[in-house]
Amino acid sequence: MKIRVGFGYDVHQFSEGRDLWLGGIKIDYERGLKGHSDADVLVHVICDALLGAANLRDIGFQFPDTAGEFKDIDSKILLKRTVALLQEKGFSIGNIDATICAELPKLNPYIQEMKCVLARVMGIDEEDLSIKATTTEKLGFVGRQEGIAAYATVLIEK
């Protein structure tokens, strides 16, 4: 058995007039995130970590923001395609540990639904997906509520 790990980091700034999508679900909040797709920073970071672990570069390489087909796309579609790319190389997901950094909105009430939705998209058990939320104690761009950051570490197996 071959085991590989991957790490991802992503940020998106807040934007007026957009819906806030995180972890594959719409969050009730006054601002969304800026991006070519739906800007779901949590899904993007999971994609990046998975792609990196499988040596498939990153989300920008696989799904470039210069391609019209990805404009305003639901990031769950990108995640599903990412999992398919891994499967083509013979990999399966062992587990994922992800952290969302945001001052607002408070995300704890949404974590279980995010886990349910994303586990279903990836075809894994919810037990194999950890999602945590934290703040930056009002420090940096996240602390100033200019955007949201996310990190993910993944383990894949062949």
Is 37 known to sit in a ligand binding site? yes
Is 136 known to sit in a ligand binding site? yes
Is 23 known to sit in a ligand binding site? no
pLDDT class for 144, splitting at 50, 70, 90? very high
Is 70 known to sit in a ligand binding site? no
**Looking at the whole model, is its pTM more than 0.85?**
yes
Domains and CATH numbers, the chain: 3-157 (3.30.1330.50)
Q: Where are the alpha helices (DSSP H) in 9-110?
A: 41-53, 59-62, 75-88
Q: Rounded to whole angstroms, how far apart are CA atoms 47 and 81?
A: 9
Residue 66: pLDDT above 80?
A: no
Which one, of 70, 66, 20, lies nearest residue 41 by Cα? 20
pLDDT class for 2, splitting at 50, 70, 90? very high
- What angle, 0 to 180 degrees and rounded to 10, lies between the N-to-C axes of helices 41-53 and 111-122? 40
Residue 67: pLDDT above 80?
A: no
The answer to whether the bond into 105 is cis (omega within 30° of 0) is yes
- What angle, 0 to 180 degrees and rounded to 10, lies between the N-to-C axes of helices 41-53 and 75-88? 10
Is 66 known to sit in a ligand binding site? no
Q: Where are the alpha helices (DSSP H) in the chain?
A: 41-53, 59-62, 75-88, 111-122, 140-143
Give the position of tokens 């007039």.
17
Contact 7, 114 (CB under 8 A): no
Residue 84: pLDDT above 90?
A: yes
Structure tokens at 42: 């949590």
Is 10 known to sit in a ligand binding site? yes
Is 36 known to sit in a ligand binding site? yes
Is 153 known to sit in a ligand binding site? no
Is 99 known to sit in a ligand binding site? no
Is 125 known to sit in a ligand binding site? no
